[in-house]
Amino acid sequence: MERIKGVVAGVDAGSTAIKVTFYDGTLMENYIEPAGWNPREVAAGMLAKAAERRGETVDDIARIYGTGYGRVGLDSLTKAVTEITCHASGAACLVSGVGTVVDIGGQDVKAIRVDGNGRVLDFIMNDKCAAGTGRFLQVMANALGLDLSAMASLSSGGDYCPINAMCTVFAESEVIGLLNRGTPREAIVAGLYTSIATRVAAMAARITICPPVVLTGGVAQHYSMQKALENELKLPITVPRDAVFAGSIGAALLAWNDLQRGGE
């Protein structure tokens, strides 16, 4: 079948960051910017800039599929697609043969079981509580006087201080108390990763976890998070280089497939 030429875009309007993927059947380009206070404007600006780099305008994009928590507010969308569908498709593109996707984003956590083609077989999601999400880490990084990148590269060297509070607000007080008692930040951070990993693993266990397991979302940038989750799940976990773009890549691929089929 002859390939229909053109470029498509996937936009993942998350709670923390906007991710945009352009795909023309050969090349994939990914862009990320903080969502800020006006995610709709940020997304529109990113699409316009990325199109301009190609010597085109937004009108030249054959299909724009949107996903993520902020997708309803986006302009110029051809179609909105659920996060679960997009993350499954994106993760399957990043790691072929993936069995289970665990996505830890800014304000939700998802575990998705997928078939060999990246189609959703089952999923579970927590978007009711900040504990166990990237937002939890942001609050704790702030309490520890660390930026997120510094936190992500902090190694405890095995030292570990359990965090008992389940709620973000109480956990923040606990962290401040530990700091005041002279507990090393590295040990507190290790305790925080374990706290998130325990919650995520308990949630993921409610669907059947099939290896290989892939970790996506912004929190996948924390190497110790990957290790803590491996420890809880007792399974190796792969973190692809473009883990944070799984949603936008999935949206772009679905748009591309529809373009090739001539569908809506």
Q: Would you tell me which residues interact with ligand ADP (CB under 6 A)?
A: 14-17, 68, 105-107, 134-135, 137-138, 148-149, 152, 217-219, 221-222, 244
Quote the least distance from Cβ 135 to ligand ADP, whole Å.
5
Quick one: 201 or 259, whose CB is closer to ligand ADP?
201
H-run or E-run covering 67: strand 61-67
CB 166, CB 131: distance < 8 Å: yes
CA dist., res. 249 & res. 173, Å (int):
38
Quick one: 7 or 240, whose CB is closer to ligand ADP?
240
Q: Which two tokens stand for residue 38?
A: 């006006």
Quote the least distance from Cβ 182 to ligand ADP, whole Å.
26
Quick one: 113 or 135, whose CB is closer to ligand ADP?
135
CA dist., res. 29 & res. 55, Å (int):
15
Question: What contacts 205, CB < 8 A, 6 or more positions away?
Answer: none
Quick one: 148 or 179, whose CB is closer to ligand ADP?
148
Quote the least distance from Cβ 65 to ligand ADP, whole Å.
15
Q: What are phi and psi of 164, to 5 degrees?
A: -90, -30
Quote the least distance from Cβ 263 to ligand ADP, whole Å.
27
Quick one: 151 or 161, whose CB is closer to ligand ADP?
151
Quote the least distance from Cβ 91 to ligand ADP, whole Å.
12
Quote the least distance from Cβ 141 to ligand ADP, whole Å.
8
Alpha-carbon separation of residue 41 from 37, 38, 110, 222, 229 (angstroms): 9, 6, 27, 29, 35
Quote the least distance from Cβ 252 to ligand ADP, whole Å.
15
Quick one: 113 or 222, whose CB is closer to ligand ADP?
222
Of 33, 225, 201, 48, nearest to 136 by C-alpha is: 225
Quote the least distance from Cβ 108 to ligand ADP, whole Å.
7
Name the DSSP class of 34: E
Quick one: 70 or 99, whose CB is closer to ligand ADP?
70
Q: Which two tokens stand for residue 264?
A: 């809506």
CB 249, CB 28: distance < 8 Å: yes
Quick one: 57 or 149, whose CB is closer to ligand ADP?
149
Q: Which two tokens stand for residue 172?
A: 């923040």
H-run or E-run covering 52: helix 39-53
Q: Given strand 61-67, what is the order of strands in its sheet?
A: 28-34, 17-23, 7-13, 61-67, 79-80
